[in-house]
């Protein structure tokens, strides 16, 4: 996942396979219905982005999806949810098999989400940030009627700007707090995280969505961290100044998204909690998974529809 600087600061390994699937096939992988399989885990926030975007855009019939279980060992994620522990389309037990099929001896992170070429069994990309943008742009001809424009050209500069600070301070910020190796590194990450959450609360107090008055990629990326906040980040990662439920604007905003088709119906809180508490034994040596928090509040009414959109 990452390493530590001498200061004790967590540093995420961001060396991904940057091959792209495009409409013109310039990297050797043209957009083609049925050719590719998106591999995810519902536990992983980075994979959850791809699950949500695929649902919102209506790409289920052209891009199949394999789901790994919530836990993994040092080797890789496994298809332990499927009969016989084997993906029914790819025929493999571990996603590492698709990585090694293209790159024998692959030494970087074997991560989800990734996209596998079904015709060869080889991984194409695990560049999660570009992957969802390409689903919005390169796969446009296969979007469902009325699908949202999650990355419209006239808003891309602002979306990119918001995504950059949200990734640095929130999406990755919770990890920088949770995996900090020193008190100083933890304190810095903690302060940065909650300063950005305060900034987001102020921004969202007068608008329903983050950018341009419409649902965009920026909302998807923030949501996958917010939906995990009380279940894992507040306790497990020591991000405990406030719970999400104690931040009125962000809690209302998160419920609005959760209740939007394609968001909450893709979330599995059991998988989320099991992943963080069972896999991160350096933080939680016992592997005991907490029974809380009470998650019934996600279905409570919100007031976001009254804001400008």
Residue ranges at the known binding site for glutathione = 77
The annotated binding site is made up of 77
As a whole number of angstroms, the distance between CA 21 and CA 67 comes to 20
Task: Compute the chain's Rg from CA coordinates.
Answer: 19
Count of C-beta atoms within a 10 Å radius of residue 13: 11
Q: What is the DSSP letter of 90?
A: T
Residue with tokens 């037990």: 93
The answer to whether the CB of 232 falls within 8 A of the CB of 273 is: yes
Active site residues: 44, 175
The answer to whether the CB of 71 falls within 8 A of the CB of 279 is: yes
As a whole number of angstroms, the distance between CA 48 and CA 266 comes to 8
Q: How far is CA 52 from CA 242, 257, 264, 265, in A?
A: 26, 11, 9, 9
Those residues with Cβ within 8 angstroms of residue 35's Cβ, 6 or more apart along the chain or in another chain:
117, 118, 119
Tokens of residue 174, six digits: 């919770």
């Amino acid at each position: 996942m990452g390493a530590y600087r001498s200061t004790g600061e967590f540093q995420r390994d961001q060396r991904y396979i940057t091959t792209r699937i495009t409409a013109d096939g310039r990297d050797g992988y043209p957009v083609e219905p049925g050719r590719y399989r998106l591999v995810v885990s519902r536990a992983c926030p980075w994979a959850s982005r791809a699950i949500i975007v695929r649902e919102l855009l209506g790409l289920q019939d052209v891009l199949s999806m394999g789901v790994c279980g919530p836990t993994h060992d040092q080797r890789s994620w496994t298809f332990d949810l499927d009969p016989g522990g084997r993906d029914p389309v790819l025929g493999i037990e571990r996603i590492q098999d698709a990585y090694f099929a293209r790159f024998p001896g692959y030494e970087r992170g074997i991560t989800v989400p990734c996209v596998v070429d079904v015709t060869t069994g080889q991984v194409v990309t695990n560049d999660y940030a570009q992957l969802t943008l390409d689903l919005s742009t390169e796969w446009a001809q296969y979007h469902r009627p009325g699908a949202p424009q999650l990355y419209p050209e006239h808003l891309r500069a602002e979306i990119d700007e918001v995504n950059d600070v949200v990734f640095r301070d929130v999406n990755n910020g919770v990890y920088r707090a949770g995996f900090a190796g020193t008190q100083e590194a933890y304190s810095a990450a903690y302060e940065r995280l909650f300063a950005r959450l305060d900034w987001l609360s102020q921004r969202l107090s007068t608008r329903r969505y983050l950018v341009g008055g419409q649902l965009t990629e920026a909302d998807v990326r923030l949501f996958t961290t917010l939906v995990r906040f009380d279940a894992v980040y507040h306790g497990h990662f020591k991000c405990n100044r406030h719970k999400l439920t104690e931040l009125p604007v962000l809690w209302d905003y998160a419920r609005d998204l959760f209740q939007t088709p394609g968001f909450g119906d893709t979330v599995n809180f059991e998988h989320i909690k099991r992943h963080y508490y069972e896999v991160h034994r350096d933080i939680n040596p016992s592997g005991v998974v907490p029974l809380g928090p009470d998650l019934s509040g996600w279905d409570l009414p919100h007031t976001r529809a009254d804001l400008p959109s």
